[in-house]
Every structure is written in structure tokens, then in C-alpha cells.
Copies of this chain bind each other. A is one copy, B any other.
Amino acid sequence: MKLYGYYRSSAAYRVRIALNLKGLEYESVPVHLLKDGGQQLSHTYRELNPTALVPTFTDDNVSIGQSLAIIEYLEEAYPGTFPLLPDTYAARARVRSLAQFIACDIHPLNNLRVLKYLTRNLGVSDEAKNEWYLHWVREGFDSLEKILASSSQTGKFCHGDTPTLADICLVPQVANARRFNLDLTPYPSIVRIDAACNKEEAFIKAAPANQADAE
């Protein structure tokens, strides 16, 4: 198994956590999103993944883009490993819904290519760009905090007392928010769950700072 990613990419970070939780060995192939005008835009990488986005995951003859599709694949193809989704349909829906809220409604507005477009194409100031970043994370975290704080299904982690796909999405988003100096005080449940995750070896090993390509 190979994971083409970048130490700071939230989407690659998610897949690393999932692989670690499942105890699956993989080779990490760095794709530098800034060097050489963005190595993800190179001909070689586009041959592997025409969307020019990281991560890409390969397993024998299978090549998959999109972090959540990769994780669902791992969940299905390696059923004997640590489960990332709970058992009941309703619980699985709750976990997927939390994960996708982060992956579809918070993260995409704040990735590198979007922030670049704001400054380069729209002439937005660095200050307004940071405000854009903080706005969408705050809006997302406001809702997420409410959901996590109000539900009896929330436990030590986003859903119950073992990590799931929801935590896999939460932790990289929190790391990202810290990098942009978002004040996390209004989000005690998010901070508590993030701290619980970051005590687990699978999460620690997956952290950006602990990757071979970290700078």
C-alpha cells in the first residue's frame, strides 16, 4: 500500500490516522504542494490522479483519490481490522454525517488552492483572507460544538468511547485551525475530544510534524 500525500494536507492526515488505527503498514510517498509550482500538478502525479489533489492511495491494482472514499475502502476491504464506523445504521449515519460536515462544509473552503485564488485572482488582502478562513471554521465549529455537546451519543470521542471516522476528520481540522490561530475557547467539547485523540498512538504517528517530509 502506498499513500501519496503531503505532511500538512488535512485529507492525507485523515488517511494516515485511519491506516494507523487499522494497523495497516503503508509506504508514504511525499507530494510537495508548494515545491516546483506544486508537485501535485505534475504530469506524473496527474497520470496517477487526474484531479491533481492529494491524497492518492494505491493497494495492488486499486488507485483511489478522496480521503473518505479511501477510508470507506479500508473499512470494507480489511474487515478484520479496527472498525472506523459503529455497528448500527443510525450510528453509522451519525458518524458519517459528522465526518462529511467537516470534509464537505468546513475543509474545502480553506484549502490552499482556494486561499491562493482569493489573494491572486480576487486581490483579497492577507487580513481578509485570514478572516475568510476563520469565518468558515468558526461557522462550522459553532454547529459541531452544539452537536457534540448536546448528544448523549458523544463520549470520550465524537461517537462513543472509541475513535471513529468522525474523529479522523476532526483532528486534522483542529490542527489546521490552530495553525491559523483560531481561538478554540468557545469549543470545549471539540478541544476535549481532540486532546483524547492526540493521546492515541495512531493519531500521534499520523501528525504532520511526525512525517518524513515535515519541514
Query: Which residues on A are within 8 Å of B, measured CB to CB?
Result: 50-53, 61-62, 64-66, 68-70, 72-73, 76-77, 89-90, 92-94, 96-97, 99-101, 103-105, 107-109, 114, 117-118, 121-122, 124, 128, 131-132, 135, 140, 143-144, 146-147, 150
CB nearest neighbor in B for A103: B104
Q: Which 7 A-B pairs have the closest CB atoms?
A: A69-B96, A69-B97, A108-B108, A73-B93, A66-B100, A51-B143, A66-B97
A122-B128, A143-B50 given as contacts; is B69 within 8 A of A93 (CB)?
Answer: yes
CB nearest neighbor in B for A114: B109
A108-B109, A114-B109 given as contacts; is B72 within 8 A of A93 (CB)?
Answer: yes
Note all chain B residues with C-beta closer than 8 A to A128.
121-122
CB nearest neighbor in B for A91: B62
Distance (whole angstroms) from the CB of A210 to the closest CB of chain B: 25
* Assembled-state Cα–Cα distance A68/B101 (Å): 10
Distance (whole angstroms) from the CB of A177 to the closest CB of chain B: 17
B93 with A104: CB separation less than 8 A = no
